[in-house]
Amino acid sequence: MSTTVTTPIGSGEAAPGPRLNYLTNGHSLKSWLLTEDHKRIAILYLISVSFFFMLGGAFAGMIRYELTSPAGNVFESDAYNRIFTAHGAIMVFLFLLVAVPAVLGNFLVPLMIGARDLAFPRINLLSWYLYTAAGSLILISCISGGVDAGWTFYTPYSSLYSNSNVSLCLVGVFLGGFSSITTGVNFIATVHRMRAPGMTWFRLPLFVWAQYATGIIMMLGTPVVAITLLCVIFERTFQLPIFSPELGGDPVLFQHMFWFYSHPAVYIMVLPSFGVISEVISAFSRKRVFGYHFVAFSSLAIAFLGFLVWGHHMFVTSQSMYQGVAFSLVTFLLAVPSAIKIFNWTATMAKGNIHLNSPMIYAIGFMGLFLIGGLTGLFLAAMGMDVHLTATYFIVAHFHYVMVGGTVMGFLAGLHFWWPKMTGKLFNDNIAKWNAIVVFLGFNLTFFPQFIAGWMGMPRRYHYYYFAPEFQIYNILSTMGATVLGIGFVIPVIYLIKSLFTGAQAGDNPWGAHGLEWQTTSPPPTENFYYSPIITDDVYDYDPVAEHEAIRELGANRQH
C-alpha cells in the first residue's frame, strides 16, 4: 500500500544502511551557516523562530501582568506602549508570517513533491539571512528605546508624532518582507517545475497546495506593504508627510495600502496551517482527505478573495460606505472556503481509524479554536456590528483565536507530526498529548473572556482602565489563562529537546502515514531521496477498512 513506486537506480532491495543524513553531513558551524540545503535552512528558521516566539511571549506576559490591575501594576504608559508594540511586531513579522511556511514549508515542500531541493537554494539561504537581519533590527529597535507606534504603524502617529525608533523597526519589517518574497518566489517556482515525474497537480499533498497559495500572497501583497513602509521611513527622514494631511496627504491612504497587504498576510499565517491540518487529520484518521479538490481549491479561493477584503479593517475610518459594503460582502463570502475546509476535515474523520496521538490532538484543538476564531469573524464582517466592536478586545480575542488558535496550533501539530522526520527521534507522546489539552484549555481561558470584555467596550491598547473597573474580572481571568498557556508553550520545548538526546530512533515512518516524505529515511539524506521517485498513485492512499481488519486481527492498536 505504497504511495509511490520508486525506481531504484542501484539495487532496490538494499537497505540504505548508515549513510549520511542531512544532519550528519558536515558538523562545522560554517556547514550550517552557509548551507544551501532546504532542510538545514528550515532548522535554522526553526531555531530563530522559536527564539522570537519566546521573546514575543515574554512581552505578552508583561502585558497580561500589567492589566490585572485597573490602574496598572508596574509600567508607565510609555513603557506599556512599547511592550505591546514589541509583542505585536515580533509575533506578527518574526513569528506568525514565518513559522509554518519557512520552517515546515521549507523542510517539506521538496520532500513532498519528490524534488532534491527548492528551485533556488541560494536565494533560500539569502531569505534566512534577510530574516535574521530583520529580526535583529526589530529586536534592537524594540529593546533600545523601543517603538511605540503599534505594529500597524498608523500614520500620522508613526510618521510625525512618535519619538521612538520607528524608522529602524520599519527597516527591519521591510527586510523581513523581502525574506518573505524570496520564500514565496521559491515555493512557486518549485511547485511549478520541480515536481517528480507522475506528481500531477491533483496528486500534490494539500500542504503543498496551501504553500503554493501562500506563495502567491507573499509575492503579490508583500511588495505593497514594503513600499508603504518605505514611504513612512521617507516621511520620517525627510519630513515629507505623504500620508498626513499637513501638505494635503491622506492618512486613510496609508491604511488602505497597509491592509492591502496585511489582511492577505493573515492568510499567509493560517493557510499553511490549514495545509498542516489536512495532512495530520488524514494521516491519523488513516483516510483520504474528504473532498480533496474542494480543499485544494478553497486554498486558492482564500488566497484570491483575501486580496479583496482589506477594507473591512476600515469601516469606521471615513472610508466610503459604498466601498465598505463591497468589502463586507466579500468578507462574508470568504467565510465560505474556510467553512468548506472545516467541514471536509470533519467528514474526513468519519469512518476512519483515528489514532489520538499528539499531532491529532493539536489538530482537533486547532479545529475547535479556529471555529471560534472564524465564526467571531462574522461579527466583525457585519458592518454595523463592526462599528461597535472594532478596535476593542473583541478584535484582540478574534485575531488571537485565528492566529494563535490557527497558526500556532497548526505549527505545533505540524512540528509534532514531522519532528521524527526532521530529527529521527521520537518524543514522549503521552506528555505531548496532555500538553495539547493544556494549551487548548489555557488558550480558551486566556482569550474567551476578552470577547466579553470587548463586547462590553474595552478598547484595545489601553494601559489603564481604572475608570471602568467592570473590565477587571475579565482581565484577571485572561491573565490566569495566559499563565496556563505560557506553561503549555514551555513544556514542548523541554520534551522536544529532551527527545534529541534520549528519544528512541523513529524509523522511516513512525506514524504509518502515506506522504512521499515518509518514504525516505528519517532524517532524510541531503539529496532527500536515494532513488528518484516516480509517483503512480494518490498521496492519501489510505485504506481504513483494511487497516481496521488488520488491527482487529492483531488485536492490538498499531501504535502500542
Partner 1 sequence: MSAHGHADSPVKFQYEDIDQQNDTYVIGMWSFMVTEIMFFGGLFLIYTLYRMNYQGDWWKAHEHLDWRLGGINTANLLVSSMLMALAVRAAQLKDRIKVMTLLSMVVACGGLFMAIKYVEYSGKIVDHLYPGPSFTTNPEILHGANLNHAQLFYGLYFGMTGLHGVHVIVGMLIISFLIKFWYQKKKVVTEDYIPTELIGLYWHFVDIVWIFLYPLFYLMPKPFTVLGGH
Partner 2 sequence: MAKSPLHAAEGHAHEIHPVSMYVRTALILAFFMVLTIVAAQVNFGEILTGHNRQYGYYVNNLVAVGIAAIKAFIVVMFFMHLKWASSTAKVWALMGFFFLPVLFSVFCDYGTRTHEQVDGWIPGQSETALPRVIGSRDQEHLDPRFANDQNRNPKSSLY
Partner 3 sequence: MNLANFPFSPPAASNFAGEMDTLFYAILALSTVFAVVTFAYVIFYAIKYRAGSSADRSSPVYENMKLELIWIGFPTILAIIFFVWGAKVYADLRIPPKDAKEIYVVGKQWMWHIQHPNGVRENNTLHVPIDTDIKLTMIAQDVIHAFYIPAFRTQFMVVPGRYTQMWFRPTMIGKFHLFCNMYCGAQHSEMGGSVIVMSKRDYAEWLANNGSMRQNLTPIQAGEKLFSKIGCGNCHGPADLPPRSPSLFGLYNKTREMDNGQKFVADETYIRESILRPGEKLLKGYANTMPMYDKQLTEDEVMALIAFIKGGAVPSLPASNIAASVPGHEAQVNGKAGLNSNALEFNAEGADATPTSRGKDLSVGAMAAEKGDQKR
Please give the residue ranges that form the binding site for partner 2 (CB under 8 A).
Answer: 188, 192-193, 195, 197-199, 216, 219-220, 224, 250, 253, 256-257, 260, 307-308, 311, 318-323, 326, 532
* Residue 162: contacted member of partner 3, partner 1, partner 2, none (CB under 5 to 8 Å, by partner type): partner 3
Binding at 320: pick from partner 1, partner 2, partner 3, none (beta carbon under 5-8 Å per type) = partner 2
Is residue 329 a contact point for partner 3 (CB under 8 A)? yes
Return phi, psi of residue 4, to 5°: -130, 155
Note whether 134 binds partner 1 by CB under 8 A. Answer: no
Return the residue of 19, 122, 192, 351 that touches partner 3, per CB under 8 A.
351
Kindly state the smallest distance separating residue 459's Cβ from partner 2, in Å: 25
Write out the binding residues for partner 1, residues 175-204 only, by CB under 8 A: 181, 184-186, 188-190, 192-194
The residue assigned the cell 461579527 is 379
Q: Which stretch binds partner 3 (CB under 8 A): 92-100, 118-126, 197-205, 342-350?
A: 342-350
Does residue 30 bind partner 1 (CB under 8 A)? no
Within positions 519 to 548, which residues make up the interface with partner 1, using CB under 8 A?
527
| Contact of residue 77 among partner 1, partner 2, partner 3, none (CB under 5-8 Å per partner type) | partner 3
Minimum separation from the CB atom of position 197 to partner 2 (A)? 4
Q: Report the distance separating Cα 199 and Cα 141, nearest Å.
A: 46
User: Binding of partner 3 at residue 324 (CB under 8 A)?
Assistant: yes
Encoded one letter per residue, x for contact with partner 1 by CB under 8 A and - for no contact, window 222-251 reads: xxx-xxx--x--x---xxx-x---xxxxx-
Separation of CA 199 from chain center: 26
User: Which cell is 348 given?
Assistant: 474526513
Q: Which is nearer to partner 3, 378 or 500 (CB)?
A: 378
Q: What angle do CA 339, 49, 76 make, to 5 degrees?
A: 95
**Residues 511, 417 contacting (CB under 8 angstroms):** yes
Cα→Cα distances 441→430, 494, 544, Å: 17, 20, 31
| Helix or strand run (H / E) with residue 322 | helix 321-349
State which residue, 103 or 453, has the beta carbon closest to partner 3: 453
Which residues are within 8 A (CB) of 359 and not within 5 positions of it... i.e. 6 or more apart? 280, 283, 284, 413, 414, 416, 417, 511
Interactions with partner 3, residue window 62-81 (CB under 8 A): 71, 77-78, 81
Give me the DSSP letters along 424-480: SB---HHHHHHHHHHHHHHHHHHHHHHHHHHHTTPBTT-S--TT-GGGHHHHHHHHH
Rg (CA), the chain: 23
Q: Which DSSP symbol is given to 288?
A: P
302, amino acid identity: I
- C-alpha cell, 451: 470577547
Size of interface with partner 1, in residues (CB under 8 A) = 42
Is 198 or 457 the residue whose CB approaches partner 2 more closely?
A: 198
The stretch near partner 3 (CB under 8 A) out of 3-11, 54-62, 199-207, 248-256 is 248-256
Distance between CA atoms of residues 423 and 22, nearest Å: 10
- Which residues within the stretch 100-119 sit at the binding site for partner 1 (CB under 8 A)? 110, 115-119
> What does 117-178 look like in DSSP terms, one character per residue?
S-S-HHHHHHHHHHHHHHHHHHHHHHHTT---STTTT-TTIIIII--SSHHHHHHHHHHHHH
With CB cut-offs between 5 and 8 Å by kind, which of partner 2, partner 3, partner 1, none does residue 251 bind? Answer: partner 3
**Contacts to partner 1 by CB under 8 A:** 9, 110, 115-121, 181, 184-186, 188-190, 192-194, 219-224, 226-228, 231, 234, 238-240, 242, 246-250, 253, 257, 527
